[in-house]
Structure 1
């Protein structure tokens, strides 16, 4: 055999091994040969993909060590966060209850225009198990956007802006509804008359005008859709929010929300709750109904050893998820956040998006790629 050929092959092999060793976990995942990944990476700029991935290890002293990787991050590249905004509002509602002496997470309440009793704890269950919009809107009524945004700024979330309710014609109205809490059958009720919020202030994020057109009142408007008055929750801040909620001892006290440990654990329990555990119909609300990473493209049950503490959002063609994933059987844990735009015709609000064909399968496979990498790294 030609010695030059042998030398060249050895050189190529060494080069391939070197390149592989220098690749980040995200690069490795995106270089997957899976068609669920390649049909996105073949035109990745079109899909406006952003990814954050955190490896989690424990030091000899027992401290948690994070190794962070990112791809395509750009706080000034706007994407619509959809239901991911329910996460900070849920946490702030739990903090609000903790700060009061007269109500708890379980205190029943009723809101104007609704005859049904609710509780913050039940709202948390609905928000995380099936991403219920009405539960989020009730907590929005309780807190209001002025309080929500002020509190987020105090804790370092300087780019996030919660502007409106979800899936309602009254999404952005300033006035909020009165809420009445019932601490017990004997005590007097607590009436919270909410003040009007201030007028919306447009976000100045670059790229908040998107697409070629949009549908309004059933008609096509041939100009980019303006998202300037919509919610904004950049991926970096979503990722940090989950990281600090799961591992509070790794962050400065001044930057953590003032949740009691009991309330924090209840929020985390709600985050990992599957629809079947929350008593929802399993045929309609299967395990991965709002858990896209790893399992979003299947309807089979998620294994009991896999816990996914997450929040997804999907609307206007944008799919986003942030999750802390742990495998209690194989000692695997990591945090992943990603967003992808699947709006091939570039027309917004027409309900013609490639969620099932491209977006959810991509996020599912992305989660599996990271899981397999971590499994191999721990072995």
Structure 2
């Protein structure tokens, strides 16, 4: 009987145990979804939004980073993420533009991050490295626009396709007249202290209207001093969804996780420079700490505080806010406690439904929500560790 028992029951028992383990893993993953757990917080900064998340058009992607000796794997969790649901990306587009500019520098033997240049018709002489630092330290629009002149919209959009990152479309510069001009301006490059050369301009494709959900928003908008009744049309604006933002971030922080053709072509020195630029706070880049506090461009965890950030915390990120939409895409790392994770989130705060009226709840609702979201995720990962 004992022999027969072993022959018949053990395979079934093994199968039963295996099935139970697998189903148990699936159940545990569902029950312990970190975003769901965090969004159920009683923190008033989160509750205010989560009482009606669709009103705020919230989208969140969180990546848990699991290290096993020398290997790394990701666990992604989403809330409301939908590439077909439009939100205005604002200054978050500056991140891939900076990266693609560095790639282009690599393809020209006469250029490097320290190369001096100016855009034809512009009175500011600068370097590529200086402009990239300004993009991340204080989200400088002029710095971004100079790199758009350097690249051209078509080359930027081709860069997304070549890396198989996901959908995106850059169609315009930021906060300047004729932002959507398809002809870029030439760059005057210094080969040495006395010799210059001209990098020719480019003529780019006219943007086609985007066909996405939520592409028309609100009940009205201002043109100058006139209130226009009806939805504001974003169909010719920049498009850079959460999935694509997160894909760019992953490729910079963990390039080894991707096939060579899907990585950005950066030298080790360039990547080191970029990572430092992404985590730098304004005072470290020479800006006044009184005007530009540490969290000026760091919404997660510290966005609603003007106190200095702890030295052991590094946030490699790019934020954006315009038209009532706030977005942050970040890799957060605590060197002291061994915590690390990635999160990208966006929220719309425009209670009156009118665009271009400068009446948005950034300070009251949006930034506090993102700050609390980052803090809750951090505490969850700290406890897990």
Normalised by the shorter chain, which TM-score bucket? over 0.9
Match of 1:201 in 2: 208
Indicate the SS of the match to 1:241: helix
Q: Which has the larger radius of gyration?
A: 2
- What is the CA-CA distance between 1:190 and the residue it aligns to? 2.2
Instruction: Answer yes or no: is 1:31 the counterpart of 2:40.
Output: yes
Instruction: Answer yes or no: is 1:53 the counterpart of 2:62.
Output: yes
- Among candidates 72, 78, 82, match of residue 74 of structure 1: 82
Q: Displaced runs of 4+ in structure 1, greater than 4 A?
A: 18-21
- What is the CA-CA distance between 1:185 and the residue it aligns to? 2.2
Distance 2:265 2:229 in 1: 47
Match of 1:192 in 2: 199
Aligned length: 359
Match of 2:269 in 1: 262
- What is the CA-CA distance between 1:158 and the residue it aligns to? 4.0
Q: How is 1:216-295 mapped onto 2 (pairs within 5 angstroms)?
A: 216-295=223-302
Deviations 1:165-211 (A, max 9, x none): 0000120012211111113226x322112022221221112221111
- What is the CA-CA distance between 1:106 and the residue it aligns to? 0.7
Deviations 1:204-231 (A, max 9, x none): 1222111111111211111111100000
Q: How is 1:1-379 mapped onto 2 (pairs within 5 angstroms)?
A: 22-60=31-69, 62-185=70-193, 188-378=195-385
Deviations 1:109-132 (A, max 9, x none): 011222221111001110000000
Deviates more, 1:368-377 or 1:205-214: 205-214
Distance 1:183 1:107 in 2: 8
CA-based RMSD of the aligned residues comes to 1.4
Indicate the SS of the match to 2:298: coil
Distance 2:371 2:28 in 1: 26
Q: Which segments of 5 or more consecutive residues in structure 1 lack a partner in the other structure?
A: 1-17
Distance 1:243 1:230 in 2: 25
Deviations 1:17-75 (A, max 9, x none): x9998131000110001000001001111001000001112113x11111110000111
TM-score when normalising by structure 1: 0.93
Deviations 1:115-155 (A, max 9, x none): 22111100111000000000000000110101111121111
Indicate the SS of the match to 2:148: helix
Gap change, CA 1:266 and 1:19, over 3 Å in 2: closer
Indicate the SS of the match to 1:124: helix
Q: Which segments of 5 or more consecutive residues in structure 2 lack a partner in the other structure?
A: 1-26
- What is the CA-CA distance between 1:157 and the residue it aligns to? 3.2
Match of 1:14 in 2: none
Distance 1:305 1:20 in 2: 30
Indicate the SS of the match to 2:252: helix
